[in-house]
Amino acid sequence: MTEQNPTIMLFREDLRIQDNIALTCAVERGSKILCLFVDDEKSLFARGSAQKWWLHHSLKALERELQNKMDCPLNIKSGSTQEILHSVIAACQADRVFWSRRYAPHQTATDKELKASLEKIGVKVVSCKGRLLAEPWETLNDGNPYRVFTPFWKRMKAHVPIDQPLPAPKSAHGMKLPTSLSIEDLRLLHSNSELCASFHANWQPGEAGACQRLQQFFVNGASNYSKGRDFPSLSSVTRLSPHIQMGDISPRQILFEATRQFELGRIDNKNYTKFYSEIAWREFSYSLLYHFPSVTDEEFRPAFKHFPWQDNRAGQLAWESGQTGYPIVDAGMRELRQTGYMHNRIRMVTASFLTKHLLIDWRVGMKHFWDLLLDADIASNTLSWQWVTGCGADAAPYFRIFNPILQARKFDPDGDYIRRWVPELSQLPTSHLADPWLAPTDILEDAGVRLGETYPYPIVDHAFARVRAMDAYRGLKTTPS
């Protein structure tokens, strides 16, 4: 029997060995296998500094898992994927490449070109599902993409099976390139050692960390998910987003386990359904990104192209550094800076503040989040920013302007979240935490707060900002698009 040519498994945003269809298919072929990761960042959507830290540790975890569970090395390269694949193929005579599909416009264009160039030299490319429960072309409405979430989700629920995830392949005849780099050679770690220490304290990138977090959620958060997910100081959410983004865990693994817990009666229908719907929002964002690729930098609703965004550098800096004078906004922006994560409710409040209170272009906020979020995801970040701004598909109406004072009172009723991230206000009574500028002087003094010195006055008045934003929006409606 003649030996088959080797197979290449190209890892990208699927850094796991369980439920990795591409990896399983590559191994099942039975030939020698070369597991490869190429650090090939195009400048347009280059990973932010926070996410590079995650990538480093996720790669370390993948390397360990491959070695320990499959006796297979991970090869690392840096540069143009196309050039590297061609030279690796020339060196090892591989005749097949497996990868998990990607959906952002620059990624689909790159992958198409790559596939054509490999097929030209007789190498077959096998692309597999891995990042989504349903491919964007599988959830259509009479052949057209959905623009509204609820029918999209109804269709998904009715037609997309949640199959049992695949186990990790048992072993493989792995190959090691003599020219492989080490993960350290990619220099992905952040230069700020304090920030790295904070990331370490809060996160465990990689497959094992993801599975642990998922199980913790079913013990701690899932039974109160539907309500608790709005309260940033509660542990009611999974915090799985950075793992999902890097592919440490698949959405199928998550939903299969949630469905199992539901069937065992460990979570009720309300919490299960809400959780499923949030996973479906991610799928909806990917569907929009795939079918309307210009949304990465253009508004889904063309009328917003004429919106009178303001150039407000001082406002932007205050927002970015958590010094707006609105404690709930500042708490969120500081949580982001210090942990690489921000709770969903607070993402909405801070994004609304930037685009509506300060009239700063949503793209400015999107870029800032992109650099600091460990879970920065081109589909969810872009479409969520557009949703809050009111310019996206099925978006919150523009006139829904989050009131940062009421949001704080409603969703941080005991002030735990604000006290944690804005410690200079921690001694204030809860009744004054949402709007410290209205607190009597003696109460401020007792709490050690000197407005304008230890904590800023609001950079813009809420009532004024609301009227100004509504005026800008009304003007927009009369502008032809």
Ligand X SMILES: Cc1cc2nc3c(=O)[nH]c(=O)nc-3n(C[C@H](O)[C@H](O)[C@H](O)COP(=O)(O)OP(=O)(O)OC[C@H]3O[C@@H](n4cnc5c(N)ncnc54)[C@H](O)[C@@H]3O)c2cc1C
344 carries an active-site annotation: yes
Contact 462, 404 (CB under 8 A): yes
Number of residues that bind ligand X (CB under 6 A): 27
Q: At its nearest, how many Å lie between ligand X and the CB of residue 78?
A: 25
445 carries an active-site annotation: no
Q: What are phi and psi of 98, to 5 degrees?
A: -110, 140
Catalytic residue among 135, 138, 278, 320: 278
Q: At its nearest, how many Å lie between ligand X and the CB of residue 251?
A: 7
190: burial class by Cβ within 10 Å (0-12, 13-18, 19+)? middle
Dist. CA 263–CA 426, nearest whole Å: 43
Find the part of the chain contacting ligand X (CB under 6 A) among 99-107, 236-244, 258-266, 463-471.
Answer: 236-244
Q: At its nearest, how many Å lie between ligand X and the CB of residue 425?
A: 24
Q: At its nearest, how many Å lie between ligand X and the CB of residue 279?
A: 5
Candidate list 75, 100, 233, 285; residue touching ligand X; CB under 6 A: 285
Find the part of the chain contacting ligand X (CB under 6 A) among 91-99, 164-172, 177-185, 233-241.
Answer: 233-241
Q: Which position has the token pair 């500042």?
A: 330
Dist. CA 441–CA 446, nearest whole Å: 9
385 binds ligand X (CB under 6 A): yes
442: burial class by Cβ within 10 Å (0-12, 13-18, 19+)? exposed
394 binds ligand X (CB under 6 A): no
Q: Nearer Cβ to ligand X, position 33 or 383? A: 383
Query: Which one, of 85, 107, 113, 118, lies nearest residue 13 by Cα?
Result: 107
373 binds ligand X (CB under 6 A): yes
Catalytic residue among 385, 387, 403, 421: 385
Dist. CA 99–CA 111, nearest whole Å: 10
Dist. CA 70–CA 171, nearest whole Å: 4
Q: Which x/- pattern over 242-261 shows residues binding ligand X (rule: CB under 6 A)?
A: --xx----------------
Bridge partner list, 34: 8
Candidate list 226, 384, 403, 407; residue touching ligand X; CB under 6 A: 384
Q: At its nearest, how many Å lie between ligand X and the CB of residue 376?
A: 5
237 binds ligand X (CB under 6 A): yes
Q: Which x/- pattern over 201-230 shows residues binding ligand X (rule: CB under 6 A)?
A: ----------------------------x-
Q: At its nearest, how many Å lie between ligand X and the CB of residue 283?
A: 8
7 binds ligand X (CB under 6 A): no
351 binds ligand X (CB under 6 A): yes
Q: Which position has the token pair 């063309």?
A: 302
And the tokens for 422?
């804005």
Candidate list 149, 272, 281, 411; residue touching ligand X; CB under 6 A: 281
Buried b (16+ CB within 10 A) or exposed e, 64-98: ebbeebbebbbbbbeeebeebbbebbeebebbbbb
51 binds ligand X (CB under 6 A): no
Q: Nearer Cβ to ligand X, position 8 or 132? A: 132
Query: Which one, of 469, 433, 460, 464, lies nearest residue 449 by Cα?
Result: 433
Strand 144-145 with 140-141, pairing: antiparallel
Catalytic residue among 281, 319, 370, 421: 281
Contact 166, 24 (CB under 8 A): yes
Q: Cα(first)–Cα(last) distance of the chain, in Å?
A: 67
Contact 95, 69 (CB under 8 A): no
Catalytic residue among 202, 220, 298, 309: 309
Query: Which one, of 28, 29, 5, lies nearest residue 92 by Cα?
Result: 5
Q: Nearer Cβ to ligand X, position 262 or 385? A: 385
421 carries an active-site annotation: no
320 carries an active-site annotation: no
Q: At its nearest, how many Å lie between ligand X and the CB of residue 195?
A: 18
156 binds ligand X (CB under 6 A): no
Which positions touch ligand X (CB under 6 A)?
229, 237-241, 244-245, 278-279, 281-282, 285, 344, 347-348, 351, 369, 373, 375-377, 380-381, 384-385, 388
Q: What are the residue numbers of the active site?
A: 278, 281, 309, 344, 362, 385
